[in-house]
Structure 1
Amino acid sequence: MLLGVFKSAAVSIPWTFLVYCLLGVLLLWPASRLLEQLWWKPRRLERALRAQGLRGTSYRFLTGDLKEYARMNKDAGSRPLPLRCHDIGPHVAPFVYNSVQEHGKVCFSWFGPVPRVTITDPDVARDVLSNKFGHFEKPQFRALSKLFAEGVASHEGEKWVKHRRILNPAFHLEKLKLMLPSFSACSEELVTKWTQSIGSDGSFELDVGPELQTLTGDVISRTAFGSSYHEGRRIFELQGEQIERLMSIVQKFGIPGYMSLPTKNNQRMRQINKEINSILREMIGKRIEAMKAGESTKDDLLGLLLESNMRHTDENGQSSMGMTIEDVIEECKLFYFAGMETTSVLLTWTMVVLSMHPEWQDRAREEVLDILLFHATIYVLASLIMSIV
C-alpha cells in the first residue's frame, strides 16, 4: 500500500513540473517580446545610428526623451517671446533646437522607444524629400492616426497616388476661386464685430489669437461643407478639444500600448472621434443621395471631392479606383487638422508683425485699395459697355 503511494507521487511530480514549465514559458514569451521592443531593439538601433556617424541622446527606458520634450515645451511656453526677437527656434521647438545645437544638423532623439532623426542640413533634407526608392517612409502612429486622421498625408505608394489624383481637382485655382465669397463673408462678420467693439476713444484691446482661430474655423466649415456649416463648426470644436487632450499627454502617447489603456482621457478621445465620424458619415450620405438624384454638385470641398470620386469610380467601372466612404471621412478630417492651427497661427503672427511695423500697414492698405479701385473701375466700364451694346 505504502509502495503504491510512492509510485503515484513519483508519477505525478513530472507532470506538475511540466505544467509549471509550460506556464513559465507562456509568461516569459510575451515578457521577452516586450523587453525586445522596449530595450534590446532601441539599443541596437542606437548603436547602428552612432556607427553611421550620427550623434544624439542616449535611450531612456520606455519614455525616451518624451519627458524632457514636454518639460522644455512647458518651460518655453511660460515665457513670452520679445516682440522684435527673430530667434524663434528656442521658443517654438526648444527640444529640437537644443538637440541640433548640441549634436549637429543631423541628429537623433527618442520618441518613446522609437528613434527620430532630425535633419536641418539642406542637402540631406533635399535627398530625403526627393526620395524615389522608398527608403524613407512616413512615420506611422496607428493609435494616434485612428483618433485624428488617416488621409493622404499618411499614405504611401499606390494608395497615395490614388488619393492625390482624386483630391487634386478640388484644389484647382478655378475651384478655389468659387470659395472666395465664403472667405469674404467670414471676414466681414469679424470686422463688423470688431468695429462694434470700438469704444468712445476710438480704440479697444482684444486677444486676436482666439478671434482668428474662430475665423479659421468658420472659413473651413463653410468652404468644406457649405450649407452644412453648423455641423462643420461642431467638427471644428471637437477636433480642437481632441488636440488639447493630445497635448495634455504628449509625454505618454509614445509609450507602446498607452493609447489603448482605458483612461478617462483616452475614452473621451475615442468618443470625440466616434462623434466626428458619425457627423461626417451622415453629411456624406446625404450628399451622395442628392447627387444620385440628379442635384447639382455644391461648390464646397465636400461636393468637389465627391464629384471627383464618383467620376473616377464611374468612368473606370470599378469602385477600387475611387475612395470608400471611410476614406472620404478621413480626408475631410485631415482638411480640418491641416488648416485649423496653421492658418490661425499664421494670421495671428501676421497681425503681430503688422503691429510691429506700422509702415507695412500703410503700404498694405494702399495696395489693397489700389487693387479694389482698379477692379471696381473695370466693373463699371464693363457695365457701361454692356448697357450700350
Structure 2
Amino acid sequence: MGNLLILFTASLCLCLFVALLYVLYKYWWVPHNVQFIMNSQGIREPTFEFIHGNNKEALQMQKEASGKPMALTHDTFPRVMPHDYSCIKKYGKNYLSWNGVRAQLVITDPELVKDVLKNSEKAFSKPKTSYFFKKLLGDSIPTIKSEKWARHRKLANHAFHGESLKNMIPAMIASIGTMLEKWKDKEGKEMEVFQEFRFLTSEVISRTAFGSSYLEGEKIFDMLTKLTLIIGRNFYKAKFPIIGKFWKSADEIESDKLEKMIHDSVMKIVKQREEKVMTGEVDSFGHDFLGLLVNAYHDPDEKNRLSIQDVVGECKTFYFAGQETTNSLLAWTTLLLAIYTDWQDKARAEVIEIFGNQNPNPEGIAKLKTVSKLYKFLWFDFFFLNR
C-alpha cells in the first residue's frame, strides 16, 4: 500500500512538473523568443504581460474611450481602436501586438501592405476561431477554408446575384412601408432609429432569405445578440492554461445553451421547408438562401453535399452578419444625413425626380447617381467605424 502511495505521489508530481514546463514554454519562452526575433529586425512592441499579453491594457483603453462622449467628427480611430492608435503613435507604423500569447504583426505602412498582399504564395491562412466565435458562426464562410469555402461561397453568390436581389425588392418595399407608417404616428417625437432599423432588417432577412415570419427570425436574432454580448465581454480575456480545458465559466455555459437553442430554432425552419416538399405543398425547396442550402443538404453527390452543421452555420452567419452590418449602416447613414442636410436634400430630390410617388423599381434604382455615391462613401467610412 505504501509503495502504491509513493508511486501515485511521484506520478502526480511528474505530471505537475511536465504541466509547469509546458506552461512556461508556451506562455513565457515562445513569446519572449518571438519578441527577440522581431526586436532584432527593428520591430517594437508594448510590454508583454504573462498569459494576458496586451489584452488587459487594450481592454482598459477601450473602456476609457467608450466612457467619454464623442463629438460629431470623422476622427473615429482613437475612439474605436484606442490601443492600436496609441501603439502607432509610440512604436511607429509597424509594430508587434499580443492577443494573449499569440503574436500579431500589425502593418499600417501602405507600401509594405502592398508588398504583403502581392505575395505570390498567398499564405494568409485564417486565424483559429475562438471558442465564442465558433458558437456564433459555426461551420460557415468566415470560418472554413479551401474547397469547402469555395462550395459555400458559390451557394451564397447564387442566392444573392442580381436577378435574385431584384426579386426581393417587393418584400423589402412592403417591410419599409410598414415601418414608415409607424413613423407617421411618432412625428415630432424622439425615436431610437437604431432599434427601428433592427426590426426592419430582422423582418427583411427573415422574409427574403429564409421565407420565415418575423417572429421566428426575431427569436434567433435575440439569441444571437445575447451571444454577441458574451463575445464582447470575453474579447480581451485570456484563458488560463490547462485549467480552462477542464473548467467552464458562466459565460461559456450560457453560450453552450444559446448555441443549442439557436440550432434548434434554425432546424425548425429547415424542417418546415422539408415538410412542404414531402407533403407535395411545393415542388422544390425554393430558390432563396435557405432553399439553396437545404437543396445542397439533399444533394446526391457527396462532394457537393452540405452537412446539417454546415446548413445551420450558414444560417446563423447570415442572420447575424446580415442584420448587424445592414442595421448599423442604415443608422450611421441616417445620422450623417441629419448632420449634412444638403446631401439629404440632394438625395431626396433625386429620388422624387426618378420615382415621383411610385415605389422604387430595379431600373430606377440603377439611375440613382447621388444615392449610389452616398452609399459607396458611407459604406467605406462605416466599415472602419463598425470595427
Please classify the TM superposition score into its range, dividing by the shorter chain length. Answer: 0.7 to 0.9
| 1:55 match: secondary structure | coil
Answering whether residue 360 of structure 2 is matched by residue 371 of structure 1, we say no
C-alpha distance in 2 between matches for 1:86 and 1:378: 33
Answering whether residue 340 of structure 2 is matched by residue 333 of structure 1, we say no
What is the TM-score of this pair, normalised by structure 1? 0.82
- Structure 2 counterpart of 1:206: 191
- Structure 2 counterpart of 1:55: 44
Map 1:131-146 → 2, pairs under 5 A: 133-146=121-134
- Structure 1 counterpart of 2:108: 120
Answering whether residue 332 of structure 2 is matched by residue 349 of structure 1, we say yes
Is 1:107–1:119's contact at 8 Å kept on the other side of the alignment? yes
Higher helix proportion (structure 1 or 2): 1
Moved more, 234-243 or 69-78: 69-78
Q: 1:131 to 1:277 in 2, by over 3 A?
A: farther
Q: Which amino acid aligns with 1:208?
A: V
Q: Which amino acid aligns with 2:105?
A: V
Map 1:1-389 → 2, pairs under 5 A: 20-83=9-72, 85-129=73-117, 133-150=121-138, 151-198=140-187, 203-252=188-237, 258=244, 261-291=247-277, 293=280, 295-307=283-295, 309=296, 313-314=299-300, 318-373=301-356
Aligned positions, number:
358
Moved more, 23-32 or 298-307: 298-307
Is 1:221–1:236's contact at 8 Å kept on the other side of the alignment? no
Identity %, equivalent residues? 33
- Structure 1 counterpart of 2:382: none
Report the alpha carbon displacement of residue 18 of structure 1 after superposing the two structures with TM: 5.8
C-alpha distance in 2 between matches for 1:179 and 1:146: 30
Report the alpha carbon displacement of residue 130 of structure 1 after superposing the two structures with TM: 5.1
| 1:145 match: secondary structure | helix
Is 1:166–1:322's contact at 8 Å kept on the other side of the alignment? no
Report the alpha carbon displacement of residue 129 of structure 1 after superposing the two structures with TM: 4.4
Is 2:274–2:285's contact at 8 Å kept on the other side of the alignment? no
C-alpha distance in 1 between matches for 2:349 and 2:358: 14
Q: Which amino acid aligns with 1:345?
A: S
| 1:34 match: secondary structure | helix
Q: 1:219 to 1:132 in 2, by over 3 A?
A: farther
- Structure 2 counterpart of 1:8: none
Report the alpha carbon displacement of residue 81 of structure 1 after superposing the two structures with TM: 1.9
- Structure 1 counterpart of 2:367: none
**Deviation per residue, 1:358-383 (Å, 9 max, x gap):** 1111111111112213988999xxxx
Report the alpha carbon displacement of residue 229 of structure 1 after superposing the two structures with TM: 3.4
- Extract unaligned runs of 5+ from structure 1: 1-11, 380-389
Report the alpha carbon displacement of residue 276 of structure 1 after superposing the two structures with TM: 0.2
* Structure having the higher Rg: 1
Report the alpha carbon displacement of residue 170 of structure 1 after superposing the two structures with TM: 0.8
Q: 1:107 to 1:217 in 2, by over 3 A?
A: farther
Q: 1:188 to 1:144 in 2, by over 3 A?
A: same
C-alpha distance in 1 between matches for 2:350 and 2:150: 40
C-alpha distance in 1 between matches for 2:126 and 2:151: 17
Report the alpha carbon displacement of residue 175 of structure 1 after superposing the two structures with TM: 1.0
| 2:324 match: secondary structure | helix
Is 1:55–1:107's contact at 8 Å kept on the other side of the alignment? yes
**Deviation per residue, 1:309-328 (Å, 9 max, x gap):** 268x34xxx22322111101
C-alpha distance in 2 between matches for 1:40 and 1:337: 39
What is the TM-score of this pair, normalised by structure 2? 0.83
| 2:137 match: secondary structure | coil
Q: Which amino acid aligns with 2:248?
A: P
C-alpha root-mean-square deviation of aligned residues, in Å? Answer: 2.9
| 1:320 match: secondary structure | coil
- Extract unaligned runs of 5+ from structure 2: 363-387
C-alpha distance in 1 between matches for 2:237 and 2:151: 34
C-alpha distance in 2 between matches for 1:227 and 1:353: 33
C-alpha distance in 2 between matches for 1:88 and 1:56: 23
Q: Which amino acid aligns with 1:369?
A: I
C-alpha distance in 2 between matches for 1:126 and 1:371: 41
Q: 1:46 to 1:296 in 2, by over 3 A?
A: same
Q: Which amino acid aligns with 2:205?
A: I
Report the alpha carbon displacement of residue 278 of structure 1 after superposing the two structures with TM: 0.9
Moved more, 65-74 or 116-125: 116-125
